[in-house]
Amino acid sequence: MKNIINWIFVGLVAIFSTASFFTSCNSNESSSGKTDNKDSVKLLVERGKYLAHDVCGCINCHSQRDYNKFSGHIVPGSEGKGGEVFNEIYAIPGVVFARNITPDTTNGIGKWTDEDIINAITKGIRKNGDTLYPIMPYPHYNQMSKEDIYSIVAYIRTLKPNNNKVPDRYLSAPIAYPVLKSNSLESNIKPDVSDMVKYGAYVVNSAACMDCHTPMENGKYKMDEVFSGGFTFNLGTFIANTANITPDSLTGIGKWTEEMFLEKFKGYRDPARFASNPGKLNSIMPWSLFSKMDDFDIKAIYSYLRTVKPVKHLVEKYPK
Ligand code: HEC
Ligand code: HEC
């Protein structure tokens, strides 16, 4: 974390160190800049919390989900402990488990350096050199700004350590390492918020909406039908097809106004909506988290989605 602290205050090019966040944070503070430093770290961690929970969904995948509640609401206290199973339901040849990303030094990532964590998040390379299965959306995080990635690292360092031991994955085919768009965080730019469409594209990428909302064929995304939905999640107790969120007016969300889109998300801010089991009408989309995105970010998502290619693709969200 030392590099992140350096980067905030001095703007130094990152030099990674093995120091942990809090120890280095204290030793790094100059007496004069103490308050400023603390405030900057606080802001960084707050931004990281927002991204990790409500935008990138790290906490959604890396915690325990309860599908007896709507949208697989997260079990309180399980944040970051890992263990969620990703298998053929996600078109994976085998089983991978979301890993323990709490700072526990035995079973979590407490001994990982900032660089180790950043490599996992943005390149899909584990500390031991293994490649992560790209269900972990590193091909998307790979394009996020350095500031945003640093803030996520700063935040996950503050999670409560949990000693949950996650089983090893099993894969029956080697991982096809995805083509990564960016070679370096330094060159990644977060578009200015004044450009709603570009900024919206950035948010949609950070939230990996594409991964669920694009149909697949032979384990590959059909990119000419991107965002047109129809990927089937069969979780046993319910089956949900992802919706067509392209601007096609008949089969997509072409007729939705910005207000309708915003209200759809905001409606899920009410915790009462996650208290009961909706049976067959459940969803895998983490509405409880995404709904907490800033109104502005939700509107930016809408602006961007208006600009993607409309695809005529009729999807029945809940097949009979
Ligand atoms: C769609 C679910 C999903 C999301 C979203 C997700 N992850 Fe992961 N993550 C996984 C899975 C599954 C693995 C393990 C993959 C494997 O074993 O090949 C993983 C692995 C990791 C690892 C490697 C840990 C280890 O012990 O090897 C780290 C670190 C990590 N994720 C952090 C994050 C962060 C930070 C975010 C948000 C920016 C995030 N993940 C978002 C599913 C997810
Ligand atoms: C984990 C998979 C998953 C992710 C990630 C995901 N979605 Fe969804 N989404 C679904 C599923 C399944 C449905 C259909 C069931 C429902 O309405 O909840 C859905 C439904 C929707 C709907 C409702 C459309 C309608 O016709 O009712 C919208 C809008 C939407 N998603 C937008 C998004 C956006 C924007 C993102 C990224 C911020 C996103 N989704 C990320 C799985 C996902």
Q: Which-ligand-closest: CA of 232?
A: 2
d(CA 51, CA 59): 9
d(CA 169, CA 231): 23
Q: Which atom of ligand 1 is nearest to the CA of 60?
A: 5
Is the Cβ–Cβ distance between 158 and 109 less than 8 Å? Answer: no
Q: How far is the CA of 210 from the centre of ligand 2 (A)?
A: 10
Residue 256 CB less than 6 A away from ligand 2: no
pLDDT the model gives residue 101: 98
pLDDT the model gives residue 25: 40
**Could you list the mean pLDDT of each consecutive 10-residue stretch along the chain, which spans 320 residues?**
61 34 39 71 96 98 96 96 96 96 98 98 97 98 98 98 98 95 96 98 98 93 97 95 98 98 97 93 96 98 98 96
pLDDT the model gives residue 10: 46
pLDDT the model gives residue 7: 66
Q: Which-ligand-closest: CA of 55?
A: 2
d(CA 253, CA 283): 18
Is the Cβ–Cβ distance between 80 and 102 less than 8 Å? Answer: yes
Residue 4 CB less than 6 A away from ligand 2: no
pLDDT the model gives residue 21: 41
- Identify residue 142 by its one-letter amino acid code: N
